[in-house]
Amino acid sequence: MNPAPRKIVVGITGASGAPYAKRLLEVLESRVESHGDIEVAVCLSSTAPEVWALECGGDVRDALRGRFPMWGMRDYTAPFASGSAGWNAMVIVPCSMSTVARIAHGISDTLLTRAADVMIKERRTLVVVPREMPLSIIHLENLTALARAGVVIQPAMPSFYGKTKTLAQAIDTVVGRTLDQLGLSHSILKRWGDKDVTDTERETP
């Protein structure tokens, strides 16, 4: 018997970094098609469409309609608004400091923050991909509160040790590590230990 599908919510907020969300959804969609072992739903904050339009172009709702189930911002009838529906994991990418603050203080004022609250109370997987620069003490304290509650803080900080050359590769260093946190296998990033990564020209001591 196949394992039960894993149900994953992807939340998108109005922080810079919509291309990370776009790429994560592309990879999850192809996983649904190739393996059929996950179910993916999307929820947006009110600011997400504005930032997506600036950074990816077009209307995010048009881009995702028909590909993923979506609910209105205050539609608390969505299944993942309740712990009993058994959604296993949520990723918030990119995650604004406003959303971090609201989740850290238990303010479930939208479907997105409610879904995050459910993940925390049910001790399920919540991965946030925060983006801000620099981080104030308020941001850091709110992120610390989330980390203490078991949330994975997965900063939108690309790595370059895999001989990253293009923007797409840089995006994949963040998206790939996010997929790792969901326990989903992939090959979109080069890992430390891969032969062509660790082969460097070293000075002879």
Instruction: Report in angstroms how near the CB of residue 44 gets to ligand FMN at its nearest.
Output: 8
Instruction: Report in angstroms how near the CB of residue 53 gets to ligand FMN at its nearest.
Output: 9
Beta strands in 24-118, from DSSP E residues, in sequence order: 38-44, 89-95
Instruction: Report in angstroms how near the CB of residue 17 gets to ligand FMN at its nearest.
Output: 7
Q: Which of 8, 9, 10, 15 forms a contact with ligand FMN (CB under 6 A)?
A: 15
Q: Which of 11, 41, 87, 99 forms a contact with ligand FMN (CB under 6 A)?
A: 99
User: How is residue 194 annotated by DSSP?
Assistant: B
Which position's Cβ is nearest ligand FMN? 14
* Tokens found for residue 80: 């993942």
Residue 82 touches ligand FMN, criterion: CB under 6 A = no
Q: Which of 8, 13, 152, 176 forms a contact with ligand FMN (CB under 6 A)?
A: 13
- Range in contact with ligand FMN (rule: CB under 6 A) among 44-52, 76-84, 172-180, 192-200: 44-52
Q: Are 126 and 152 in contact (CB under 8 A)?
A: yes
Residue 59 touches ligand FMN, criterion: CB under 6 A = no
Q: Which residues contact 65 (CB under 8 A, 6 or more apart)?
A: none
Q: Which of 103, 132, 143, 189 forms a contact with ligand FMN (CB under 6 A)?
A: 132
- Range in contact with ligand FMN (rule: CB under 6 A) among 9-17, 64-72, 79-87, 165-173: 9-17
Q: Are 100 and 62 in contact (CB under 8 A)?
A: no
Which residues of the shown chain bind ligand FMN in the complex (CB under 6 A)? 13-16, 45-48, 50-51, 54, 96-99, 131-132
